Amino acid sequence: MTLFGPDEPTTGPSEPGGRVRVRLTVAYDGTGFHGFAAQPGQTTVGGTLAEAIEKVVGHAVSLTCAGRTDSGVHAWGQVVHADLAPARGRLDLEALVRSCNAMLAPAIVVREAAVAPVGFDARRSAVSRRYRYSVLNSPTPDPFLATTAWHVEDPLDLRAMEQASDPLLGEHDFSTFCRRHPDGGSLVRRVFDASWTRGDGGLGEEEVLRFEIEAGAFCHQMVRSLVGTMVDIGRGRKRAGDMAAIIRATDRAAASQPAPAHGLCLWEVVY
Amino acid sequence: MTLFGPDEPTTGPSEPGGRVRVRLTVAYDGTGFHGFAAQPGQTTVGGTLAEAIEKVVGHAVSLTCAGRTDSGVHAWGQVVHADLAPARGRLDLEALVRSCNAMLAPAIVVREAAVAPVGFDARRSAVSRRYRYSVLNSPTPDPFLATTAWHVEDPLDLRAMEQASDPLLGEHDFSTFCRRHPDGGSLVRRVFDASWTRGDGGLGEEEVLRFEIEAGAFCHQMVRSLVGTMVDIGRGRKRAGDMAAIIRATDRAAASQPAPAHGLCLWEVVY
């Protein structure tokens, strides 16, 4: 099994080579996984999903995902592609979904499977990614949000956090909020949307503060680091009016500690 | 430690005996517990909570709850009372909540603690209990609802289920939906409210069908048995118009299999 190996030539439904590129929409509870990307000796979402698909199709499978989520991060709308060989000339995607979910649910659920358009690449064809971060702001924790929301006891000033999210829009060097690229790559990213809203919680009646951000792409730990900084603004430890200067600093010392992984969810990938 | 032992005389804030009756509102994820009521050799919500309180107050504690939830059933608003001895003349309820949650969260969370009015009894003073049952009606499961909603793949007719819930209102013998009392006690109960609604799911964007029922008291397995029967009506296996006759049958053979425990939550207790 090769995961994330060297790129293979793209194969579409009418391509020679006998394989069909399939696009999967995948939700997962990241709690028990060391992130998406397969790593030797670790239980990962990508490794676990590829193994299940291999059992169904009977050949080695390489997965490409739209966003490589970190350890403990969830997804509702992760998109993955794989090139699959039809069995006896037929690729039964309904049966593939059913078999994968029988093996993997509830931790990993394949929500949809479809033949991809010619030239589709889950990572390169993506126009933008949308992440959602959930903060439970209440004096006591909530058993039903324990794995999906960061519990913050201090009362947060939502208006200050809303105000702090405005300067994120547009193209910026996000070095303040990201780990350096090992190969020195650019940390300039374009943010299309960034906003805080008050939403419903899970089973309980708790209100949850939700941060949604959509960008062409994200640097490593960017959303968690932004949320950590904005929650400090909500606590009154930093000022909303300083957010533009914090971005311009391009220095990680200007940001707060990243928010914990379990509040983060890859919500949607736009193509 | 005696849990649910013989009733002790009620002690109020001004009672002699030195103990103060405290009322706790408790939420829990019932997944890992063999129900609320303490049983030897089993991990129960009541046993675990009593042990934590005993560590804080330094004496044996007996808990009385409003509704003895079964194995795997959740609670958002369980109410419990306990008679506690103030340490050095003082009962610090804020510290009690903080210490219990530090030991027990996120599985069990004490949401509130207050000195109970004189004569208060969590079980006997309750006017009604409200339960909520969640059904995820979708072709694929949802990782974020796995422990709190029953996943039903067959498309359900919500209108038929709403119609079937109408005959539940009022006073009925619920023998069709309940296990016989070991001591032959009455299974007549008064239902104040029973309705199905479409609600939001957890982290995902799934819609969840929610059944809420409020009654003076419930017999054993009553809500799960009602939901199992109404979901069969939603599937078209039984007819909504037959619900009144199913109730009148006072025969468990007329009901469907009880719905699974993990969709059920003790939502609120009214005093």
CA separation for the pair A189, A61 (Å, rounded): 31
Chain B contact for A12, CB < 8 A?
Answer: no
- Considering the candidates A70, A83, A142, A232, report the single residue annotated as catalytic: A70
Query: Measuring CA to CA, how many Å separate B225 from each of B30, B51, B88, B252, B253?
Result: 19, 33, 49, 9, 11
* Token output for B78: 């369980």
Q: B120 — phi, psi (to 5°)?
A: -70, 135
Is B148–A74 a contact, with Cβ atoms under 8 angstroms apart? no
pLDDT for residue A4: 35
A263 → chain B, closest CA residue:
B203
CA separation for the pair B66, A24 (Å, rounded): 46
pLDDT for residue A199: 82
Three-state secondary structure along chain A? CCCCCCCCCCCCCCCCCCCEEEEEEEEECHHHCCCCCCCCCCCCHHHHHHHHHHHHHCCCCCCEECCCCCCCCEEEEEEEEEEECCECCECCHHHHHHHHHHHHCCCEEEEEEEECCCCCCCCCCCCEEEEEEEEEECCCCCHHHCCCCEEECCCCCHHHHHHHHHHHCEEEECHHHCCCCCCCCCCEEEEEEEEEEEEECCCCCCEEEEEEEEECCCCCCHHHHHHHHHHHHHHCCCCHHHHHHHHHCCCHHHCCCCCCHHHEEEEEEEC
CB contacts < 8 A, A to B, total 86
pLDDT for residue B163: 98
Task: Tell me which of B24, B130, B144, B197 to substitute to probe the interface with A (most A C-beta atoms closer than 10 Å).
Answer: B144
Number of residues that make up chain B: 271
Identify the sign of the CA torsion A23, A26, A32, A34: positive
pLDDT for residue A18: 83
State the number of CA atoms in the 13 A half-sphere of A199 facing the CB.
23
- Could you identify the residue written with the tokens 């109730």? B247
Residue B18, Cβ density class (10 Å: 0-12 exposed, 13-18 middle, ≥19 buried): exposed
- Could you identify the residue written with the tokens 């296996």? B237
pLDDT in tens, chain A (271 residues): 333 333 444 444 544 468 999 999 999 999 999 999 998 899 999 999 999 999 999 999 999 999 999 999 999 999 999 999 987 778 899 999 999 999 999 999 999 999 999 999 999 999 999 999 999 999 999 999 999 999 999 999 999 999 999 999 999 999 999 987 777 789 999 999 999 998 876 676 778 999 999 999 999 999 999 999 999 999 999 999 999 999 999 999 999 999 999 999 999 999 9
Around Cβ A212, how many Cβ atoms within 10 Å?
19
Q: Which of B29, B101, B141 sits opposite A144 (nearest CB)?
A: B29
Give the SS3 label for residue B269.
strand
pLDDT for residue A17: 64
CA separation for the pair B229, B255 (Å, rounded): 6
Chain B CB contacts of A97 below 8 Å = 140
Chain A contact for B203, CB < 8 A?
Answer: yes
Chain A contact for B99, CB < 8 A?
Answer: no
Mean pLDDT of chain B: 91
Task: Tell me which of B140, B198, B267 to substitute to probe the interface with A (most A C-beta atoms closer than 10 Å).
Answer: B140
Is A27–B148 a contact, with Cβ atoms under 8 angstroms apart? no
Residue A201, Cβ density class (10 Å: 0-12 exposed, 13-18 middle, ≥19 buried): buried
Interface of B with A in 149-178 (CB under 8 A): none
A28 → chain B, closest CA residue:
B143
Nearest alpha carbon to residue A137 among A225, A227, A224, A70 = A227
Long-range contacts of A257-260 (CB under 8 A, 24+ apart): A257/A228, A258/A221, A258/A224, A258/A225, A258/A227, A258/A228, A259/A133, A259/A135, A259/A150, A259/A224, A259/A225, A259/A227, A259/A228, A259/A231, A260/A72, A260/A150, A260/A224
Do residues B193 and B214 touch, judged by C-beta distance below 8 A? yes
pLDDT for residue B199: 82
CA separation for the pair A204, B26 (Å, rounded): 12
CA separation for the pair B214, B193 (Å, rounded): 5
Query: Is B29 among the residues known to form the active site?
Result: no
Q: Which of B76, B107, B205 sits opposite A203 (nearest CB)?
A: B76
Give the SS3 label for residue B241.
helix
Nearest alpha carbon to residue A126 among A82, A188, A168, A79 = A79
Q: Which of B74, B111, B134 sits opposite A140 (nearest CB)?
A: B111
A27 → chain B, closest CA residue:
B143
- Could you identify the residue written with the tokens 């209990």? B129
CA separation for the pair B115, B99 (Å, rounded): 17
pLDDT for residue A13: 53
Is B140–A101 a contact, with Cβ atoms under 8 angstroms apart? yes
Identify the sign of the CA torsion B90, B93, B95, B99: positive
Is A74–B143 a contact, with Cβ atoms under 8 angstroms apart? yes
Amino acid type, B249? A
Chain A CB contacts of B204 below 8 Å = 27, 76
Q: ipTM of this model?
A: 0.88
pLDDT for residue B6: 36
Chain B contact for A99, CB < 8 A?
Answer: no
Chain B CB contacts of A111 below 8 Å = 140
Give the SS3 label for residue B113.
strand
pLDDT for residue A10: 42
Q: What is the pLDDT of residues B51-87, one digit of tens each?
A: 999 999 999 999 999 999 999 999 999 999 999 998 7
Give the SS3 label for residue B84.
strand
Chain B contact for A264, CB < 8 A?
Answer: no
Check whether the bond before B106 is cis (ω within 30° of 0): yes
Do residues A22 and A113 touch, judged by C-beta distance below 8 A? yes
CA separation for the pair B37, B51 (Å, rounded): 13
Give the SS3 label for residue B250.
coil
Chain A contact for B93, CB < 8 A?
Answer: no
Radius of gyration of chain A (CA): 20
Q: B136 — phi, psi (to 5°)?
A: -90, 110
Q: A62 — phi, psi (to 5°)?
A: -110, 125
State the number of CA atoms in the 13 A half-sphere of A112 facing the CB.
9
Do residues B194 and B212 touch, judged by C-beta distance below 8 A? yes
Chain B contact for A247, CB < 8 A?
Answer: no
> pTM for this one?
0.90
Nearest alpha carbon to residue A25 among A79, A61, A63 = A79
Q: Which of A108, A148, A205 sits opposite B144 (nearest CB)?
A: A148
